[in-house]
Amino acid sequence: MLKKLALVIVMATLLSGCIPLVLGGAATVVMAAVYIHDKRTAPEINSDQQIQQSIRKKLSTPIFSNECNIQVTVFNGYVLLTGQAPTKELKIQAQRIALTTHGIMKLYNEIIIASPSSELTRAKDYWITTRIKVDIMKNKSLQTAQLTIITQQGTVYLMGSVTNEQANKIVTLASQISGVTQVIKIFPNEQAATW
């Protein structure tokens, strides 16, 4: 029973892209297993979470929460803004607001000028992200990839720390999934690249 519970926790964690805070017993072992391939130190992870929370809070004003759909992703101080804003001015304003946050190494603004995506589109994007994560988990050579996957209106963003070989395999894997229109790779020390 404990093994099944641990498996469910690991799968839910991997598929959601989130790491819940769980303390004690077998759950600690499970969470340690999830973190084992994360090359970031605990302070780096904490810093990324603080940057992300700070930007999200700054963008939680009515103008952004009512008119935009903006997602904030942070990895080693590199910030990725994705989603939709109805005007170029709001896109630029979101970037300016985000850049006031301490600790940002570089910001990628991939917000598109459009109305916020529908719930159906977001569900399709979630399915694409989940499918990519499952396919990565099934491929032994990719299981050590330290990666965040974000999908917005069929565009897949890959962000994290992987080898060149892993990056190429993941791009190929992601681009073959139904509904994917393009794959954008964003890794520290590399320029954003589109496939």
Q: What does R_g of the chain's alpha carbons equal in angstroms?
A: 17
**What pLDDT score was predicted for residue 162?**
85
**How far apart are the C-alpha atoms of 82 and 113, rounded to whole Å?**
11
Q: Is the pLDDT confidence value at 141 over 80?
A: yes
Looking at the structure, do residues 84 and 72 belong to the same domain, yes or no? Answer: yes
What predicted TM-score, i.e. pTM, was given to this entire model?
Answer: 0.77
pLDDT digits (tens, 9 = 90+) for 2-27: 555 455 455 544 444 444 444 444 44
Mean pLDDT for 143-169 is: 89
112 belongs to a structural domain: yes
**pLDDT, tens digit (0-9, with 9 covering 90-100), for 86-129:** 999 999 999 999 999 999 999 999 999 999 999 999 999 999 99
Residue-level pLDDT at 173: 94
Residues 173 and 121 in one domain: yes
- Shared domain for 53 and 71, answered yes or no, is yes
Instruction: Using a pLDDT cut of 70, give the percent of the chain over it.
Output: 76
- 44 and 104 in a single domain? The answer is yes
The reply to whether 83 and 128 lie within a common domain is no
Give the mean pLDDT of 175-187: 94
Task: Record the tokens describing residue 174, joined without a space.
Answer: 């992601």
Average pLDDT, the chain: 82
Using DSSP, state whether 153 is helix, strand or coil. Answer: coil
**Domain extent for 157:** 117-194
* 82 and 133 share one domain: no
Q: Is-contact 138 93, C-beta < 8 A? A: no
Q: What is the pLDDT of residue 107?
A: 96
Domain assignment present for residue 80? The answer is yes
3-state SS track over 10-25: HHHHHHHCCCCCCCCH
- Domain shared by 96 and 163, yes or no: no
Together in a domain, 171 and 141:
yes
Residue 39 has pLDDT above 80, yes or no: no
Using 50, 70 and 90 to split pLDDT, how confident is the model at 83? very high
**Of 116, 142, 176, at which residue does a domain stop?**
116
Which residues in the chain belong to E strands, given as ranges?
69-75, 78-85, 106-113, 146-152, 155-161, 182-186, 193-194
Domain with residue 72: its CATH number is 3.30.1340.30
Identify whether 25 is part of a domain: no
**What's residue 189's pLDDT?**
54
pLDDT, residue 3, reads 54
